[in-house]
Amino acid sequence: MAAIAAVLAIGGLAAQPHVAAAAGKKVVIVVGPAGSSTADYIYNAKKLAYQARSYGATVYEVYSPHATWARVKSIAQGANVFIYLGHGNGSPSPYGPFNKYTRDGLGLNSCDGCTSHTYYGEYYVDQYLNFAPDSVVILNRLCYASGNSEWGTGYPTKSVAIQRVDNYGAGFLRTGARAVFAEGIHSVSFVLYGLFKTNRTMTQIFWSDPYHVIGYNFGFGSVRTPGMKAIVDPEAPSHYYKSLIGDIGMTAYTWRT
C-alpha cells in the first residue's frame, strides 16, 4: 500500500498549471566544517546557489571556515529556503541521552577561520532562527537527519530512524518552516526545482527525487511536532537516507505566495 500511495503521489507531476513567479525569495546556504568532505560540500553548495539565482532568488552563502554561529544566525533570519550541508549530531545516538544544546541542529565553525566545529542544537535553532512563514529547510549530506547512522557504525532499526527524523525536524519546524527535507547522499537540486518551478505538494516534490526508490518507504505521524507527518524512503532495508517531515501537503504555490 505504501508503494501504491507513493506512485499516486508522483502521478500528475508532468502536467503543471501556471506557476507564480518567485523572484526575490531569500535562499540561505550554509556549509559547516566537515573535514575532508568540506571542499566537496562547498562545490555542491555553489551549484545549488547558482540554480537558485537562476530562478530569481536572492542567495546568501556562508561557507566554512567562516560559518560561525553568529554569522549564520544573522544571515539566516527571514530565509524562505535554508540549506545546510555539514556534520549532523542527532538523537538517538551512541553518545548518551538527548542534549538540546548539541543535538539536532547545525555543526558550525568554532571560530572564524577555524576548521574545528561546534554543534548548535535544537535549542539554538528553536530560540534564535526565525525563518519566513511557510519556509522550507533542506538538510544535505548529514548523519542522523534522515534517520541514518554515521558511516561505518552499522544501520539503525526502523524505530530509531523514525525517532531521528522526528527529532531532527522538531527544532526547525518551530522556526517558521513548514517542511524539512533530508537527503543524506545525493543532490537536493530537485527540491529547489520543485519549489520554484512547479505547483507540486511537498510530498510530490519528495517523490520527484531522481534517486527515489519506492518499495521500502513508509510514513508516520510526528510525536515531537503534533499534526506534522513524515515520509521516509530507504534505499534498501535499514538504509535511511531520504526523509521529509512537516506539512507534507503544502504546495510550492503556497510557499511562493
pLDDT tens, position by position, 213-245: 999 999 999 999 999 999 999 999 999 999 999
Indicate the length of the chain as a whole number: 257
> All domains of the chain, ordered by start, with CATH?
2-12+20-256 (3.40.50)
8 A C-beta contact, residue 112 and residue 63: no
Q: What is the pLDDT of residue 18?
A: 65
Q: What is the pLDDT of residue 17?
A: 54
Averaged pLDDT score across all residues of the chain:
93
Q: Which three cell numbers stand for residue 45?
A: 553548495
Q: Which three cell numbers stand for residue 52?
A: 537558485
Tell me which residue has cell 532562527: 129
Q: Which residues pair with 109 in a beta bridge?
A: 68, 117
As a whole number of angstroms, the distance between CA 62 and CA 71 comes to: 8
pTM for the model stands at 0.93
As a whole number of angstroms, the distance between CA 34 and CA 129 comes to: 22
Sign of CA dihedral 141, 172, 71, 47: positive
Does 15 have pLDDT greater than 50?
A: no
Q: What is the pLDDT of residue 145?
A: 98
With a pLDDT cut of 90, the percent of the chain lying above it is 88
